[in-house]
Amino acid sequence: MHDLETKPGLQAKFGVKDEWILPVVPVINIPEFGDESAKKVCMDLKINSQNEKDNLAEAKRLTYLKGFTEGKMLVGEFAGMRVQDAKPLIRNKLLENNQAVIYSEPEKKVMSRSGDECVVALTDQWYITYGEEKWKKMAEKCLSEMKLYHDEAHNMFCQTLSWLNKWGCSRSFGLGNRIPFDEQFLVESLSDSTLYMAYYTIADMLQNGDMYGRDASFVKQEERTDEVWNYVFCDGPYPESSTISQSVLNKMKQEFCYWYPFDLRVSGKDLIQNHLTFTIYNHTALLPEHHWPRAFRCNGHTLLNFKKMSKSTENFKTHRRAIDEYSADATRFALADAGDGMDDANFVDTCDSATYKRNLMDGGNFEILVFTQTRSPFHLRR
């Protein structure tokens, strides 16, 4: 629209009439961007042409995100409502009036590891309704009492809770557990994995000390009933009908209660919108409040020379390779310099050993914290 307004030749080239590019009628107000969010964001990002694909993609991301989470409708019967509340109502009305059809596609081209192009298929599937009102309030309560270390992480969790709703929890192929009430489906791994930290607490007994899980003779599969899990994890009554000895059951419960709730879970910021929020939801649904998560520490990704690490582009470096090339101390200095916040850390391999060696050769000042066997720290200055 901006190009058509400012470049008459472009308008003539495509036969666009003047009345087709009249000023846009404001429909949504976003507090940060006003009534004309697209125009405001394009000005902020200094976008001057429709050919600036990367900047336009960022402008779209910002306006869509802020519009959905913070925007309010300005016109029509839903004026004054939040966009996230009005959107499903408008959708349903359009469908009822036969003015719209449901259509799904990937937001961009998706290729599988086998080289096949992926498509969207509407098939039977089980969903978990994470946005259910009562459940959502429990998740919000859990989040409000958690330590997250960064305001940005807290805001990302709040945004995810605001839009997260139905999420597919089943699949029809691969390895995994069968859905007990519909055994043609398997439990989708993301939905199944958000409670595995509870399994850690008793894994040694269930696997009879074998870290690979090859020996399940100590507590047999058929003995692992719902009544047993309710007793161990959910403060349920003692399972009188269980064939597991009382001492083993009590030991399992004791171990779980000792290690739970977990004090800290460290993970990447990209998992806030799925895995970590699922963890909050699933813990609040299945476990009593005193076993809810206490803290998440979310971090950014590690870049190598300002680019994403990827084996396909050969832009990656293992810990072993970095240590072999630059020494352990130089690698530590470079990683420490990369940062410890939510931003993506950048490992620049042209400066790590050079910086460290320059400090040594030039007699530069640096401080090393040394721990003795008693863990009492003292400092060495060079």
Quickly list DSSP for 29-96: EBTTTBS-HHHHHHHHTT---TT-HHHHHHHHHHHHHHHHHH-EE-SSTTTTSBHHHHHHHHHHHHHH
- The whole-number pLDDT of residue 249 equals 93
Contact between residue 176 and residue 187 where contact means Cβ atoms under 8 Å apart = yes
Q: How far apart are the first and last CA of the chain?
A: 63
For residue 259, pLDDT beyond 50:
yes
DSSP 371: E
Report how far residue 346's alpha carbon sits from residue 307's, in angstroms, rounded to the nearest whole number.
Answer: 8
- The whole-number pLDDT of residue 371 equals 39
- The whole-number pLDDT of residue 364 equals 47
User: Across all residues in the chain, what is the average pLDDT?
Assistant: 84
Please compute, for residue 241, the number of CA atoms within 13 A of its CA located in the half-sphere on the CB side.
5
Report how far residue 71's alpha carbon sits from residue 52's, in angstroms, rounded to the nearest whole number.
Answer: 26
**Three-state SS sequence of 292-309:** CCCEEEEECCEEECCEEC
Give the angle 301-307-310 at the CA atoms, nearest 5°: 75
Query: Which residues, 6+ apart, have CB-to-CB distance to 323 below 8 Å?
Result: 331
Nearest one of 276, 60, 40 to 159, comparing CA atoms:
276
Contact between residue 87 and residue 75 where contact means Cβ atoms under 8 Å apart = no
Mean pLDDT of 63-81: 92
Contact between residue 279 and residue 194 where contact means Cβ atoms under 8 Å apart = yes
Distances (CA, A) of 351 to 283, 317, 330: 44, 15, 9
Mean pLDDT of 215-224: 83
Nearest one of 263, 239, 262 to 250, comparing CA atoms:
239
For residue 369, pLDDT beyond 70:
no
H/E element, 197: helix 196-200
- DSSP, collapsed to helix, strand or coil, labels residue 204 as helix
**Structural domains of the chain sorted by starting position, each given as residue range(s) with its CATH number in brackets:** 2-96 (3.90.740.10), 300-381 (no CATH)
Tens of pLDDT, residues 318-331? 888 888 888 888 78
Report how far residue 286's alpha carbon sits from residue 279's, in angstroms, rounded to the nearest whole number.
Answer: 11
What is the percentage of the chain residues whose pLDDT exceeds 90?
A: 43
Tens of pLDDT, residues 87-142? 999 999 999 999 999 887 777 888 877 788 888 777 888 999 999 999 999 999 99
- DSSP, collapsed to helix, strand or coil, labels residue 179 as strand
Report how far residue 5's alpha carbon sits from residue 9's, in angstroms, rounded to the nearest whole number.
Answer: 10
Report how far residue 83's alpha carbon sits from residue 90's, in angstroms, rounded to the nearest whole number.
Answer: 10
- The whole-number pLDDT of residue 375 equals 37
Amino acid present at 228: V
Tens of pLDDT, residues 330-340? 788 777 765 56
